[in-house]
Each structure stands twice: as C-alpha cells, then as structure tokens.
Structure 1
Amino acid sequence: MPKHIDSQNIVETPSLRALALAPLQRLFSARPEFIDTLEKTDLAHAAHLGPYDLIPLLSFLELLEELSKRLQNPVLGAELGQSLSAPDLGPAGLLMLQSATMRRGINRYVLRLSALQSASDMRFEPMGDLFSLSYQITGLGRQIWPQDTELSLSSTTHLIRQSFDSRWAPLEVHLAHVPPVGVERLERIFRAPVRFGQAANRLLFAPEDLDLPYRDEDKPLIAVIERHIEDLLLSQAADAPMQSRVESVIAHQLGQQPCTLASVAAMLGLSPRKLQRHLAAEGTSLRTILRDQRMRIAETQLQAPGARMSDVAHALGYADNTAFWRAYRSWTGEAPSTRRSG
C-alpha cells in the first residue's frame, strides 16, 4: 500500500484517492464479480479507507479491466463515467462546477487532477483550429488501459455537461486502443464520432464553446476549494523514467507537429543534449521511442475495418503514404497492406 513520505503528498508508487472506488462500490457492491475482483487486485481492504486515503493506481487500473471482463461489458469505464457527479471527482470536480466558462473550468480541472491521482498527464491546448483535452497514464510502462481511459474521458464529458450545457458534445473522441465490441454504445455516450488507434486519448472542442458565460463565480468559495486542493496535491513524479515522459510528449505531438529532439526537449524543459544523455542512460533513444509508438499506432489503425492508408500516415506524422509505406517496411519487413483488416 502506498503511503506518504512527507507532508507534501509525495508517494512511493503511482497512486490515487480511494474516493475513485466509491462509484464502483455504489453500483456493484452486491455483485460477486466485484467482490472477487477486489480480492484479486488486492483492494479488498479499500472499503475501510477514507475517501482521501491512497490506493495503488495500478491496482485500480487492473480492477477496471478485470471487472469489464467479468461483467462482459466492454464499455464499462465509459458507462461508469456517465454515473459520476462532481463530488465523485473530488474538489477538482467542484471547481469545474463553480467556473464561469468552459475554458476556465477545464483549465482549473486539468491543473488540479493531481489532487486525485499521480502518474497522469492531462493537457488542454490548441490543436490546429480546435482545442484538445488529452489524458495519458505515465510511468507504468507501455500497456494501454482502455477502461480507465474511457472512464476518464467519459466522466470529464459528463462533468462538462453538468457544469455548463447538458447538450454539449465533443467534436470527436480519440482513443489509443483498438475498437471494443460496443463502438456504437461509445458513440452514443459521447454523442460524437470515436476514432481508435490514435496517438493520444483526447476530446476535441470547438473554440466558440469555450468562452460562453454560464454563471457569476463565487470567488470566496472557489478560494476555499483551491486551498483544500493544495493540501491534497500528489507528486507527479518529476523523477519518473525519462522514457515515460518522452512517450507522453510524443503522444501529444504526433500527427500535429514534427517530433524532433529539439521540440521534445523543449516540452520537457531540457536541452537536446541533456535529453539524449538521459535516454541513453535508460538504454533507449528518441528514435527508438518514436518508432515504437508509431508501430503501435500503425498496428492498431491497420486492424480497423475500412482503414485508409492516408489517415494512418497522417496520424503518424508522415507527409504521404509513400513515406509511411517505406517506414513500415523497414520496421517489419512487410508492406502495411498485409496487416489491414478485411
């Protein structure tokens, strides 16, 4: 069980607040599948914890994936996200609820995510003519966690609807993992097209939605909530493996701007030479990390029915199909057409 090292909420392992379990307990506490899965993931003790106690993030991720299988519900995370209220998301959720505009609420929520969990990277930033709200788990290797991803983006979507406009929908939803059986159910939840095998998990926003005024802010109340959050912030592990930090940057940049040594180093606040040294000490390089992420995305997208080579090439940051074809053949010894579904 992770624990505090000092009063600044620096934790030994990637962690999150036990309040994240409350919606699961509320919905499934009587289900034997849930009880068995809690035991399997070493979270059986969590029923006795306070909402702000810490549990291992990895155990929670495994719980969601296993419970999805046991309940035979491939979109469990997304459906769970629609059941959450602002208090379920902690004080960061309450800040969104008190914000005057969508932009202000999202910015506050993103900056305070670490009050709920560590080893996470959420960003709200321009993406061409649109805005992107992206979410990644960092520092836990390369495994993808579809249920947590869909839970996070679905709960954020639901919170935005609760806070500002019940009719709101993102323009698109991007997910890094392969399509589940219930794609249509996902699109009904998000009320938007869902694209899989993407470089990053993200919601896309129309800029004109972001600055519409919805309420006057209660500034004294917001100040109280923010002060409370300061006491809860968890360390986001600045000493996480450099490879994990680079993977997160690439996920945000790929397909949007060139992923060069200079651009990645700048995002991490390092010089290119220092970044190279850090990666070499971990036995890797930017070239290797970029290749591996492109391979993963390519394999996922090529498996999707009706995948177009031009779309895959663009998602990977290649100028055209020919450049992607050559790169893929150099990685695998095969043409990408051999991996296409159907």
Structure 2
Amino acid sequence: MKTLLAREQLSPEVLADPYEAIPLQSYLSIFEAAAELAGDPLFGARLGFGMRPGNLAPIGLRAVQAGTIRGALTAFARWSGALQSATQSSLTEEEDQLVFTYRLTAPVLIASRQDTEFSLAAVSRLIRGAFDPRWRPLEIRFTHPPIAEKPRLEALFRARCAIPSPSMPSSFPPPRPTGASRRGPGHDRADRAASAGSDRRCGPRRKPGHQVEALIELYLGVRPIDLPTIAAALRMAPRSLQRRLAEEGQSLSGLLRRQRQRRAEVLLRERGLSVEAVAQALGYADGTVFWRAWRSWTGEAPSRPAPN
C-alpha cells in the first residue's frame, strides 16, 4: 500500500484518518492498481461484499438504523452525497420498483470499474447483512466496457449484470420477492423491492446548508460537530463555509440545535430513552446539559411518555 500511495504522492498518514480527503483521481488509480497487483479483476466487488456496516463509518450504521431496505438506501444516498463531493447516489421509483443509482459527478481520466463494483457490492452486502441474507437485485447496469469476468460478477451479486454502452444510463433494480420495506430480525413486512446502479452523469449541486444538515445528522453522537470538522468534510475553509451559510440565513449552531431537538423528540417520545441516554446520543457532555437545552427549547423538563 505504501508503494501505491507513493506513486500518487500521498503520505501513509492518510490511512490513519478514515475521513481524510483523497483526490478522486488518486483514489481511482490506487484502486485499479491494487486489483492489478492482486491479480484479481473482481478485487473491488469482493472487497465490497466483505464489508460490514461498521466498516462504512457512520453511513453504514445510520443506514441499518433506518429499519427497512428502502430506508437504508435512502439514508445511504443522503449521507454518502454529503461526505463524498465527487460522487452522487440517488433513489428513484420507476414502474413500481426502486432504483438506486451511484455515479461519479466529477470528470475522470482513468478507469473507475473497481470503485463502481465495490460501491454497489458494499450496498448489497449492507442489505443482506442487516435485513435479508437472501436479498438480490433484479439487475445491475454498469457503464464500464464488457468484461470477461461477467459470469463470476453475476455469481457474486446473484443477479444479471448488464454492461451497456457508456452513453446509456445505469442502474439496478432488485426482484419483487424481497421487499423494500423488509425490516431486520423480528419483522416480516414486505412490499416493493430495492435497487442500485452506477453511471457518471452529474447531478445538481447541493446547497451548503443541506449538506451541513446531512453531516450533522450523520455525525450526531458519533463525531465532534464544529466548524473545522464540518468544513473539512465539505472540502471548504471554515470561514468560507460560515460565509456560505450566512448567505442562506443559516449558521452551524442553529442547524445543530434544530437537528438535536428533532432527534431528541424521537428518542424521548417514540423510543422512550432516558435523559442520560438521549444526552449521549446527541453528543452532550451529560444529562444535565441536555436537560438545560431541552428546557430552553420547550420551556418544559424532558420526560419519557408514561408506560401503558
């Protein structure tokens, strides 16, 4: 790995921080070179299917907490876009099926096959591990050129892999037997199926306020939420982010306060957690600090609903 990093003029120290920003071109180059050195054209896909929710940092954990396949895909699309400035994921509905799409939004000069197959494999592994080990997509559509390993790739995904011309859009919808509303262990409700895919079309640029809200929701109770941390995640200078938020009539403290209040209401009233547990989930030092914050929001003391 040190050799690959040196080839891209990157320090080995970037491996110490999972949130460290790496230029897209370097990331793709390292991924493709690693597959070549390993002698495994399916390196990215195999790596993706070996991932667990915790390996995907807060995104994987928040996606599992969504409770359903549909919710997990929605969460993954929302938060991956906030963390990764050069990629975009989206969830749409087409003819009674959900289509999850993954795309690179920045122009690239090198192959991106390993990244694409890794990303879709990681999403598939997330669904199988958290909701239904039998889940499989109906079809996966890639944009990279035809590959000799297509049968083996289909065996990994347990689905047909369509590899169209680069001008065609890409996506993959799953079969109807596995529901998008399928819940984790202990639940059996199901309706329509989920989906995933990849292409390279650029989407609309999100406003900083929306990105900051998504990052706050993702980091809350997991990472410190301050201007330097959020600005670094968005590849911006802290003062630039502060100015951009002010132009929208927003501030980091205001967005954080609103997100904490919304999350606190859910944790207290729907899940019945204690004040101390809610304080920890919201990143407060202790229950007393949260108690004061809640009192300032509502004028009342925080309390759990009485048991039936």
* Structure 2 length-normalised TM: 0.58
Q: Answer whether contact 1:119 1:139 (CA < 8 A) is retained.
A: yes
Aligned residues: 199
Q: 1:156 aligns with which of 102, 123, 128?
A: 123
- Structure 1, unaligned stretches of length 5 or more? 1-33, 218-222, 238-342
In 2: Cα distance, 1:125 partner to 1:181 partner: 31
In 2: Cα distance, 1:43 partner to 1:189 partner: 32
Q: Structure 1 residue 152: deviation in Å?
A: 0.4
Offset from partner CA, 1:4-25 (integer Å, 9 cap, x none): xxxxxxxxxxxxxxxxxxxxxx
User: Kindly tell me: are residues 166 and 225 of structure 1, through their superposed partners in 2, closer, same or farther at Cα, counting changes over 3 Å?
Assistant: same
Q: Say whether residues 1:139 and 2:106 are aligned partners.
A: yes
Corresponding residue number in structure 2 for 1:99: 66
Corresponding residue number in structure 2 for 1:58: 25
Q: 2:135 aligns with which of 168, 174, 177?
A: 168
Q: Structure 1 residue 125: deviation in Å?
A: 0.5
Q: Say whether residues 1:179 and 2:146 are aligned partners.
A: yes
Q: Structure 1 residue 173: deviation in Å?
A: 0.7
Corresponding residue number in structure 1 for 2:157: 190
Q: Say whether residues 1:125 and 2:95 are aligned partners.
A: no
Offset from partner CA, 1:289-322 (integer Å, 9 cap, x none): xxxxxxxxxxxxxxxxxxxxxxxxxxxxxxxxxx
Query: Helix, strand or coil: the match of 2:159?
Result: coil
Q: Answer whether contact 1:153 1:203 (CA < 8 A) is retained.
A: no
Q: Say whether residues 1:209 and 2:179 are aligned partners.
A: yes
Corresponding residue number in structure 1 for 2:169: 200
The letter of the residue matching 1:200 is P
Corresponding residue number in structure 2 for 1:320: none
Counterparts of residues 247-326 of structure 1 (less than 5 Å):
none
Q: Answer whether contact 2:29 2:110 (CA < 8 A) is retained.
A: no
Q: Answer whether contact 1:120 1:236 (CA < 8 A) is retained.
A: no
In 2: Cα distance, 1:89 partner to 1:116 partner: 12
Q: Structure 1 residue 226: deviation in Å?
A: 5.3
The letter of the residue matching 1:203 is F
Q: 1:112 aligns with which of 79, 88, 94?
A: 79
- Once superposed, what is the RMSD of the aligned Cα atoms? 2.8
Q: Structure 1 residue 56: deviation in Å?
A: 1.8
In 2: Cα distance, 1:216 partner to 1:118 partner: 37
Q: Answer whether contact 1:96 1:163 (CA < 8 A) is retained.
A: no
Q: Answer whether contact 1:153 1:202 (CA < 8 A) is retained.
A: no
Q: Answer whether contact 2:28 2:110 (CA < 8 A) is retained.
A: no
* Structure 1 length-normalised TM: 0.52
Q: Answer whether contact 2:79 2:218 (CA < 8 A) is retained.
A: no
The letter of the residue matching 1:98 is Q
User: Kindly tell me: are residues 140 and 49 of structure 1, through their superposed partners in 2, closer, same or farther at Cα, counting changes over 3 Å?
Assistant: farther
In 1: Cα distance, 2:17 partner to 2:84 partner: 15
Q: Answer whether contact 1:149 1:201 (CA < 8 A) is retained.
A: no
Q: Structure 1 residue 105: deviation in Å?
A: 1.2
In 1: Cα distance, 2:133 partner to 2:83 partner: 25
In 1: Cα distance, 2:93 partner to 2:110 partner: 27
